[in-house]
Amino acid sequence: MSEGFFRKLGKAVMKNPVPEPMPVPPKPDRVLPLADMLTELVKVPDAVWGKYAFSREILRNRIVAEEKERLDEKARECGYAYADQLVEKYRTRIPSEIANKMGLVISYPNMPSDTSRVTFAEFVEPNKVMLYKDNLDKADEQLKDREVQQILGLMQVYQLLLAHEIFHFIEVRDAKTIFTQTEKLDLWSVKPFHNRSTIRCLGEIAGMAFAQRLMGLKFSPFVMDVFFVYGYSKEVATILYDEIMAIE
Ligand SMILES: [Zn+2]
């Protein structure tokens, strides 16, 4: 891991703070044990994860709180529905088997070529999924901790990441009908022109719900944001944790 990557990771995580002022200012030199954070994070309700996802949305200031709640719920329902549909069709809950049957090609590059964004896995059109090995190795290392294992269950991290990316593949495939792509926000309109944009975080919310339902997890896979960041920086992971726990 180059120092450049580390610094960029920190900056990228810090770049998108919760828009509202936080009641407890983060203490940058604070480091909490991973197991302690996960214990609390698995109890975080879905609605809070929705707010967390929207706090990273570029269009967040154009959507009122009630509308965000409605969109969050609909995105989750969309993810659940697609998971059920796929299980019905392919008769398996194992993401790698489903990916295989859908014709997805999975590769394991060491790190993303563009390290200015924090990304642990990626879908590349039309049918590629990249799972970054450096991240998976760190995740495996962290999963050796008995307590962490107990909280997360028998977690196959690459399957979870893959499940989420399968959803992004479906989003592209079903772009004309899937909620996360058809739901759009009017950015501007000057007759007869108008510019409508998808709301990116809806794909993230739905992708997490999809992965959760598919794998039968008792907690939101958003929990894993802190888990993965912890592999790169315990400090940044703790800041992220404090931010999530401060969401009301
Ligand atoms: Zn995603």
CA 175 – ligand 1 centroid, Å:
15
- Does residue 26 have a pLDDT over 80? no
146-169 pLDDT, tens digit per residue, is: 999 999 997 899 999 999 999 999
CA 166 – ligand 1 centroid, Å:
9
CA 76 – ligand 1 centroid, Å:
13
CA 225 – ligand 1 centroid, Å:
11
pLDDT of residue 115: 73
State the chain's maximal CA–CA distance in angstroms. 61
What is the mean predicted confidence (pLDDT) over 177-182? 97
Residue with tokens 């269950």: 153
CA 192 – ligand 1 centroid, Å:
33
pLDDT of residue 9: 54
Determine the Cα–Cα distance for residues 230 and 139; give it in Å rounded to an integer.
9
50-81 pLDDT, tens digit per residue, is: 999 999 999 999 999 999 999 999 999 999 99
**pLDDT category of residue 11 using cuts at 50, 70 and 90:** low
- Does residue 23 have a pLDDT over 60? no
Q: What percent of the chain has pLDDT over 90?
A: 80
- Does residue 34 have a pLDDT over 80? yes
CA 210 – ligand 1 centroid, Å:
11
As given in the structure block, the two tokens for residue 53 are 């996802």
Question: What value does the mean pLDDT of the chain take?
Answer: 90
CA 88 – ligand 1 centroid, Å:
23
CA 78 – ligand 1 centroid, Å:
14
CA 127 – ligand 1 centroid, Å:
15
